[in-house]
Structure formats: structure tokens, C-alpha cells
Structure 1
Amino acid sequence: MTNIDTAEAYINAVQSGDQAALGNLLSPQIVWHQPGGNRFSGIKNGMTELGPMLGAMMEVSGGTFAITDVHRYLANGDLVAIEIEFAGEREGASLSQPGIDLMRIVDGKIVEVWLFSSNQQQEDAFWGL
């Protein structure tokens, strides 16, 4: 399996809600860099920090937060950049924008993720403090 295959499997698991597949792709010691200045921003170390954050994001968005489109995957060694679009709704607020997910993949496991939003101010306003 190439690193792009791993990244594609990650996107498929996220989009289908396949928690078992997602769990098999993410390292238990994953380092997750959540951008911005909102309630979810900051570095999450390991699944014990990442899992609750992802669950809370789904709760806040009423299950609507999603990767809505993927345009391309680009690889450079153990790094894969994914050009995506993501969206969500909550309490009359909406979020829809392009972004980049950059992941470091080692031995078929995603060990580190950096997320980039095209409009961080909009995303911060959507998630709130």
C-alpha cells in the first residue's frame, strides 16, 4: 500500500463514518495539529485526545461536519497533501471552504496531521470558543 493509498483509505473512512477502518489507519500516538483560535484548536497528542475532539466536533455540528469533496492527493516521501473541501451546519451557522490536510505516514499508519483552512476566521466563528 502506498502512502497515497493510505490517505485515500483515510478519506473513505472519514466520509463513510467507518470508525474501525479509521482506527486501523491512525497511529495510537498520532499528533494532530488543529488550526485556528477556536475551542478545538491546538495540538492533540494521541487518540485519547483526538477521539474526544472529533466526537465533540460532530456533536456541535449535529453530525453535519464532513469532507464534501476531494480534488487531489500529492505525495512527497512520507508526506501526503490532500486538497479537500469541507462543510458543516450548526445553529443557523454554516461552514464551507477548501482546505489542505497534510499527513505524515509511516509504515501505513498516519502518525501526524496538519490541517489548513482557506478561511480560518470563518472556521473559528463556526466552532466558537
Structure 2
Amino acid sequence: MGEHPDCALVRRACTAFSEGDLDTVATLITSDVVHHVPGDNAISGHHKGRDACMELYRTMSEETGGTMRTELETVMCDGRGHAMAVHRLRAERGNRGLDMKNGEFFTIVGGKITDIDECAENIDALNAFWGT
């Protein structure tokens, strides 16, 4: 039995993001996608729309000098348009490093990602890494 299409979509998006392939990421999300980033820091908040999300991803890459990587550990889905990814997030920014588990809850409609709700293993470390 093959992988569920929702899991395959999330896996493809996570792989593309980790490889810095933002062109592919853009094709996997809807024009009205929303990415919710937790915490109280420079990138936290609700990034609404494909353009805003792509700007977020470019900023994350630029601010980390391209060091941001996600190592996908598992993807799970409910078969009703929701998937969850757990991965290890690693990045460097100036004299700060980040190495923690992160989770993302995806909503999928029509074979595209419409919502990403992110959770961090350590919000305080995430806030310290990104600053205000």
C-alpha cells in the first residue's frame, strides 16, 4: 500500500523547503494559504497569502545564511484533509544556533496546502533565536 496523497504532499513540501527549493514550495500551496508561526519574535504571526508566506520563507533563509534545514521524522494524516509533520529544525543565525523538534499541522484542500499551524518544542529558544 502506498503513501496517502496528503502525506506525500507534505513530505514533498518539507523536502523542497529544506533544500531551498522555494519555487516548488510555491506550487504546493494555495494563493490564500496562511502560515501561523508561534512565539513572540521577528517572524511570529499569521502570514496570509502565498506572497506573504514566500516572503517569510525567503527571510528565514536569508537570516540564517541558508543554514535552515528540516529533517523530517514522520508525517501522519487523517485522510480528511489534515496532516501533521514532525521534524528536527536546525539553523544558525549570527552567534545563535537552533536545534529542536518542530511540528506543523497542515490543512489540505484540492491537493494543495491551505493552512500551516506550526508548533515549537521550545518557544523560548525559538524567540531567542529570531529576536524581536
* 8 A contact 2:84–2:105 mirrored in 1: yes
Q: Give distance in 1, aligned partners of 2:106 and 2:95.
A: 32
Identical positions, percent: 23
Deviation at 1:71, TM superposition (A): 1.5
Counterpart check, 1:37 vs 2:44: no
Matching of residues 53-72 of structure 1 within 5 Å: 53-67=56-70, 69-72=71-74
Contact 2:18 2:68 in 1 (8 A): no
Cα deviation code 1:7-48 (max 9, x no counterpart) = 111112112222222111011110110110001110011022
Report how many aligned residue pairs link the two structures. 128
What amino acid is the match of 1:125?
A
Q: Which residue of 2 aligns with 1:73?
A: 75
Secondary structure in 1 aligned to 2:59?
helix
The answer on 1:90 being equivalent to 2:96 is: no
Which portions of structure 1, spanning 4 or more consecutive aligned residues, are displaced by more than 3 angstroms? Answer: none
Q: Which amino acid aligns with 1:70?
A: L
Q: Normalising to structure 1: TM-score of the pair?
A: 0.93
2:125 maps to: 122
Aligned to 2:15: 12
2:76/2:83 contact within 8 Å kept: yes
